[in-house]
Structures are given as C-alpha cells and as structure tokens.
Structure 1
Amino acid sequence: MEPALNDRTRQAPAAPDPLRHLLDPDYPLCREDLIWALDYIKRKVADGAPEWTGLDRPQLLAHFAAYANLAMHLLHRQSLCGEDTEQLRAMLRDTLALN
C-alpha cells in the first residue's frame, strides 16, 4: 500500500528537469535562465496545464503574485549576485509552489 500524501504534496508536483536545475544552489543562475523559466511557466498556464488549472483562486493568486515579484525583480536588477541569487531561487520556488 502506498503512503498517504498530504495536500501540499499532491498540489506541488516535481519541477521539470530544467527548472529543477535552476533551483540547484550550485548552478550559477543568470538572467536568461530566469527569463526562460518565466516564459516556460507562462506557456504552461496558457496551455492549461493540469498543475495550474486545478488550483483554487487563492492558490492561483499566490502563484501569480510570486510570478509577478520575480518578473519585477528582474526588471529592476541588471545583474544577479550572491544573496540576490538565493532570493531569486526562493521566488522561483514560490512561483512553482516548491518548498
């Protein structure tokens, strides 16, 4: 018998390999990577991916807020460095609901 999954586990599927790679603290993150990630998420939502269409309104708004924060952060910062990189990874994890 398979162990019971909590609600958080069911709602947060594993990130696809390219996104998981970006979340790796040993990977040197760059702007282009984050722009790619935002575009990937945008396409998944536009295509009606089940991991997004199954969210209730508060969850969807929370994901959108995290997505918008990440996008705005990229607009206002020209370079990524040190602690900023970890903050951006945390924002990306929030956008994907991965903690």
Structure 2
Amino acid sequence: MDLKRSAPQPEQPLKRLLDPSYPLCREDVLWALGFVKKKVADRAPEWSGLDRPQLLAHFACFADMALLLLHRRSPSGQETACFRKMLSELSPQGDINR
C-alpha cells in the first residue's frame, strides 16, 4: 500500500476552503486552524513578510473562528471572508488556484 497516495495533500483542502461557493463546516474550520497553527509553529515563510497590523488581524480572525467552534455557532459572511483571506495569505503564491 502506498501511503503517499492515500494522504491528502494540504493544497486540496485549502483550494476547497478558499472557494467562496464552498460552505465552511466545523471539520473544515478545525482542519484549517490546525494547518495555520502548524505553519506558524514552523515559521512559514509565507507569513514572514507580514507587518504587525496584518499579523494582529490574522490572530483576531483565528481567535474568532476558534471561539465560534467553542460556542457551536456558524460563522457569519464577514467572519468567513476574514478566514478565507487569512488562509489565502498563508498559501504560497501560485500553489493554490483561486
């Protein structure tokens, strides 16, 4: 059995999450929060060029989505747009087709 073929590529869930017509569900948000957490812990170069206000805005968006999950609420259109913007800025240019 080839494990590499069965493991999902991170680009696939990101591509789906960045699609504005795709409705976010709890599992997607959990996956994305874990992905962002790992990228930040790994000091992803995609975020190294962001200025402090951008980083703070991304942190606020990350925290809002995490709190929504805790309170079992669905994100509003504005919260979803913020989350998708953060994910798109995390994605290296050219890796994700928008």
Task: Tell me whether the two structures share a fold, i.e. TM-score over 0.5.
Answer: yes
Aligned with residue 73 of structure 1, among 68, 82, 85: 68
- Which moves more between the two structures, 35-44 or 18-27? 18-27
Aligned with residue 82 of structure 2, among 71, 91, 97: 91
Q: Percent identity?
A: 59
- Unpaired runs of 5+ residues, structure 2, are 1-10, 90-98
Aligned residues: 80
CA contact (8 A) 2:18 2:87 kept: no
RMSD: 2.5
Partner Cα distance (2:20, 2:61) in 1: 19
SS in 2 for 1:52: helix
- Unpaired runs of 5+ residues, structure 1, are 1-15
Could you tell me which amino acid in structure 2 is paired with residue 44 of structure 1? Answer: K
Partner Cα distance (2:54, 2:20) in 1: 26
Could you tell me which amino acid in structure 2 is paired with residue 92 of structure 1? Answer: F
Aligned with residue 51 of structure 2, among 41, 52, 56: 56
SS in 2 for 1:27: coil
Partner Cα distance (2:43, 2:35) in 1: 13
Q: TM-score, normalised by structure 2?
A: 0.64
